[in-house]
Structure 1
């Protein structure tokens, strides 16, 4: 595993500008996100405590400086323009994770079994690095993401719960409208979290996990925490191209009268599958891998698809879940 990244001394304050801050943060991100790791769980390499603390302080000072500068700026007609200085670091992070995921996709192997292994170990490494980045850049979550959510720019927005204005017809006061909006938002949030395994009364840990999955499943323009931002880009840039079903060529044929229809190839003809789905099928059918390793790959891939926001009704997630259930029943049977 890579060694500890040490603190690099510099006379310039990294919080004075975005370019200075990014030049200070980027090497640490490269180390924890991209450095090779021999750990089976992809554990991210450590960075020196001095550098870790320095990045924390630099991010904090940067956001404080930007907030103070925005107070002294003249009022702009476009409110979005006044917040550009607060979004820039977030946009650069999004671009960084985009490039990191694309770099991983370049190394995709041609062999099916190798593809599954590569996907599992690449995600484990990327996920561990993203977790470290999320902790390292906690001030981005605190000073930008949280504010964006308060401003209705998060993964779940008021527009998502207001299908029509009919709910507003009986509202008689501002206080009542706020209460209606808050109630509808809570109801919609619970509805969305159920899609990711959460049920009313579950633990707070399950709620946090379900919300992080929902965040990763959101569209790119929605502001989410750093970890979910990384997961979302891994899904969009790496996984979704592998899940894409190839388009079948359609041939235009001349109409022929009294043509005898051909019998179907089977009662349930096979549908075209994405590359990752075909690779998983090959994994499940092979005898070259023992059941223990097969179960590890299948269960880890299933968890990865959950974390990056692939819906539970996706055919590949269903297939993986079915195999996990069968494996669990088989193991239980032989135990008795």
Structure 2
């Protein structure tokens, strides 16, 4: 059969070429490095694509150039700090400024995505699912692109500086309650590992294998506070939760004395009992109860939404996650 008979495949987005920097050194300063990185991030995270589950790629020379630029910038920063007369506790970890810019980038991106959300609750889930899939694919690709930052800055911050998703301070209370005077160092270390395991079990079946364990930890990292140092992909998912999901989960506050648009009736009146007040909760209620949605499609959307909430770190005991979990358990 001819290609015309088979139908044309969607045009693929070309690789983003390595931008010309002339004689300029991308790693000479934070501003020059960021100017070099931004086109790659924009292409990976924001470019339109026919496949929302796969991020567009960049040219291999650009890919290696980003790695080299990050390496050179952080290395030169480390050397400058080491040569400084400042005390070690007064000097930030090398790479902190770059990591903060990346965090801001994902935060700004998520706020842009939220601004594009439809005003009609019935269209909200149709927007969220492909929107998140595309964003998450970009986050995973950016995570690979910026792997040097993960290996140098994130690993050091999480382990050496104890600023990861779960710190000693987080589990100190647990250990203090169960510790005995006679406990050896090995026994205390075991209790620390047990607490970490207990936390990870909240996010998945960690006994299912290495992939399941890594997936659970990624969710736990995304659930952490903004003061915690986590891998780039978890950083991006955490920002999606904070800047996109949480505003949709929030219950709007109305000023006294003013009638709110689409106000939910008071249960003490003659009207029906009040329903969910957050936009996303209302959209989920409509999805699960609507007679206009085929059951297979309803199940698919509920599953995709549940995966998204888990992936961005919405905790398992959140009412919306419990509601979706209950629906999935009976379907």
TM (normalized to structure 2)? Answer: 0.85
- Whether contact under 8 Å (1:98, 1:234) holds in the other structure is yes
Match of 2:78 in 1: 67
Match of 2:152 in 1: 143
| Secondary structure of the corresponding residue to residue 293 of structure 2 | coil
Match of 2:173 in 1: 163
Matched, 1:307 2:318: no
Distance 1:191-1:265 versus aligned 2 partners, 3 A rule? farther
Matched, 1:246 2:252: yes
**Partners of 1:33 and 1:181 in 2: how far apart?**
43
How much does 1:286 deviate?
Answer: 2.5
**Partners of 2:248 and 2:194 in 1: how far apart?**
34
Moved more, 11-20 or 114-123: 11-20
Equivalent residue in structure 2 for 1:320, among 316, 321, 324: 324
Match of 1:113 in 2: 122
- Whether contact under 8 Å (2:275, 2:282) holds in the other structure is no
Match of 1:183 in 2: 190
**Partners of 1:197 and 1:85 in 2: how far apart?**
34
Match of 2:38 in 1: 26
Question: In the TM superposition, what whole-angstrom CA distance separates every residue of 1:278-306 from its partner, at most 9, and x where no partner exists?
Answer: 01111222233323332222111110001
Equivalent residue in structure 2 for 1:133, among 133, 136, 142: 142
Number of positions where the alignment pairs a residue of Structure 1 with one of Structure 2: 308
Match of 2:27 in 1: 15
Give structure 1 stretches of 5+ with no counterpart.
Answer: 252-262, 328-336
How do 1:192-207 and structure 2 match up within 5 A? 192-199=199-206, 201-207=207-213
Question: In the TM superposition, what whole-angstrom CA distance separates every residue of 1:40-91 from its partner, at most 9, and x where no partner exists?
Answer: x442111111101111111122222222222211142x61x31254211110
How much does 1:269 deviate?
Answer: 4.5
Moved more, 144-153 or 109-118: 109-118
Match of 1:95 in 2: 104
**Partners of 1:240 and 1:49 in 2: how far apart?**
37
Matched, 1:227 2:233: yes
How much does 1:312 deviate?
Answer: 1.4
**Partners of 1:15 and 1:181 in 2: how far apart?**
44
Matched, 1:211 2:217: yes
**Partners of 1:43 and 1:159 in 2: how far apart?**
38
Equivalent residue in structure 2 for 1:284, among 278, 284, 288: 288
Match of 2:9 in 1: none
- Whether contact under 8 Å (1:161, 1:184) holds in the other structure is no
TM (normalized to structure 1)? Answer: 0.84
- Whether contact under 8 Å (2:41, 2:142) holds in the other structure is yes
**Partners of 2:114 and 2:193 in 1: how far apart?**
38
Match of 1:260 in 2: none
Question: In the TM superposition, what whole-angstrom CA distance separates every residue of 1:89-113 from its partner, at most 9, and x where no partner exists?
Answer: 1100110010000000001101222
Question: In the TM superposition, what whole-angstrom CA distance separates every residue of 1:215-251 from its partner, at most 9, and x where no partner exists?
Answer: 0000100110000000000000000011113357889
Distance 1:247-1:181 versus aligned 2 partners, 3 A rule? farther
How do 1:266-281 and structure 2 match up within 5 A? 269-281=273-285
Moved more, 220-229 or 109-118: 109-118
**Partners of 1:325 and 1:118 in 2: how far apart?**
25
